[in-house]
Amino acid sequence: MSFRLGLTGSIGMGKSTTARMFADEGCALWDADAAVHRLYAPGGAAVAPMAAAFPDAVIDGAVSRAALKEIIAADPSALGRIEQIVHPLVAADRQAFLAKTVSDIVVFDIPLLFEKSNENQMDAVVCVTAPPEVQRERVMERGTMTEAQFQAILAKQMPDAEKRALADYVIETATLEHARAQVQAVIRDIRENRLHA
């Protein structure tokens, strides 16, 4: 039975980089965002139910995230209906991944882990964090969103301090070397103290 480690953290905290570090150390890695991309791609499990519920959301046989954003902007209640379609499919994808993995530790990269109450399905949770100024700088450097969009995303996410308080492990990502050392320490702790407990 694999150890299920939830990995979460707010935007710009270094979660994707930290997830890759766990994979580099031999952990199996499941990525919630990648699962959604698979479900939305042509032939993906979300395409048919989305087409039935939101015909305008499917373009060229795939679910268009841009179209979904427009649908939600026009009707905020649509988000709940979209989540009712997608969340069970994402959960099924996660279970299928877990069933076929042979790694002793499986890392589940889930941005909204606490917000969606998925922590109960994990054996432990690690939260990645960075100082607010580092977080803001990272997000702005991407050049993909405005300050207002960044603040809107932050407003929807649980505050970093709350996530850290709820997590079993906290990884500070201000520098890569420090983050990698902490990843290795978490894995060591799980293997020595939690795997066979």
- Sheet arrangement for strand 105-109: 28-31, 105-109, 3-8, 124-129, 169-172
Q: What is the pLDDT of residue 18?
A: 97
Fill in the DSSP letter of residue 158: P
pLDDT recorded at residue 103? 94
Segments of the chain with pLDDT less than 70: 197
Determine the residue type at 12.
G
> Is residue 59 a contact partner of residue 94, using CB atoms and an 8 Å limit?
no
Domain 1-27+105-197: CATH superfamily is P-loop containing nucleotide triphosphate hydrolases (3.40.50.300)
Query: What residue ranges do the domains of the chain occupy?
Result: 1-27+105-197, 34-102
Q: Where are the alpha helices (DSSP H) in the chain?
A: 15-24, 32-40, 47-53, 65-74, 78-100, 132-142, 147-156, 160-166, 176-189
- Note the pLDDT of residue 197: 61
Strands (E), 10-162: 28-31, 58-59, 62-63, 105-109, 124-129
Q: In the prediction, which pLDDT does 195 show?
A: 83
Cα 94 to Cα 150: distance, rounded to the nearest angstrom: 28
The residue type at 32:
A
How many angstroms separate the CA atoms of 12 and 110, rounded?
14
